[in-house]
Amino acid sequence: MKSIVNILLVATALILPDYACKAAELKRKSLTPTEQKSYLSKRTSGGMMGPFASYSSLLYALNDVVIHSKDDAINKTALSSPFPDFYKPTWEELFDTIARQTKSAWTYDPKRDFWIFAAPPKPLCFELTLAEGWQPHNEGLYIGYQPSIAPVGMDVYILGHYSSTNKDEDAALFIGVREAIAVRFAKPFPKNVSRKDMTEETIGNLRALHFKATGPTGIIWQQWVVVDSEMAFAIVSAIKPEHEKQILPDVLKMVASFKVLSSAGGTKQEVAPNCRDKE
């Protein structure tokens, strides 16, 4: 019976996001700064689905947590989970990846007990040296880099912040995260791909899992997955054989220049916007 009730709650939230949001405003207790910090450190499911507006209703129905935005572009952004199945992110880590994907930043509104997502986004958490003639474009989940002679060239996926309850377990966690993400990205190629099909390469001072394959249409696929400063990234490249001589040298130079910024991590706004006035 309980599972049926949960299904009905989820269905109602997905169908009626506006109603769920209005219902959430009723008699909610504000969190003190100490309570906010404690809550954000708790762990939850890493599953994400649908556009922001529907997902916000799902969180309310299942967890009594309200994420909210007045920005139409944010509300329509489709979300997808970057987290491996074995990992349960903290609420702060979940909010961070939602903010990255919606190109926003988040803060807490104590008046309504809402977590508000709004522009502008925080700066990127990595840097690289852009090859001459290439143009970057921010897609939220990833930053695309396009050469002048092809529609795609290289993308950098920002795949979440990771932590363990015991710092002694960090190294093993980061290795597991790196491997899980690398296998996930490589799955569309060899069906039974695994860690043994990959090699370790050095990118600057980072160790990356590298994989290369040729797709069914002849596209040359390469990927480098790294975890640094508790952040995971996948750098991917897709090149037609006839463009390899022109594009690949630029890709390799940009990959070699990739650097995670020491300030990488949260997308929480340091100074809350006037959400009481704006919302």
Q: pLDDT tens digit string along 160-205? A: 999 998 888 899 999 999 999 999 999 988 778 999 999 999 998 8
The pLDDT value given to residue 279:
37
The CATH architecture to which 2-122 belongs is 3-Layer(bab) Sandwich (3.55)
Q: Is the pTM of this model over 0.75?
A: yes
Per the CB < 8 A criterion, the answer to whether 186 and 193 are in contact is yes
For residue 55, pLDDT beyond 90: yes
Kindly state the average pLDDT of the residues 100-124. Answer: 95
Residue ranges of domains in the chain: 2-122, 126-260
> Which tokens belong to 136?
């970057």
Per the CB < 8 A criterion, the answer to whether 106 and 117 are in contact is yes
Per the CB < 8 A criterion, the answer to whether 268 and 95 are in contact is yes
Kindly state the average pLDDT of the residues 50-55. Answer: 96
- Region class of 229: left (phi > 0), else alpha (psi between -120 and 50), else beta: left
The pLDDT value given to residue 278:
36
Q: Which of 92, 155, 74, 125 is nearest to 227 (CA)?
A: 125
> Which tokens belong to 145?
């880099």
Strands 135-138 and 154-161: unpaired
Instruction: Name the fold adopted by 126-260.
Output: Protein Transport Mog1p; Chain A (3.40.1000)
Collapse the DSSP code of 259 into the 3-class scheme (helix H, G, I; strand E, B; otherwise coil) and give the result. Answer: strand
Kindly state the average pLDDT of the residues 27-36. Answer: 91
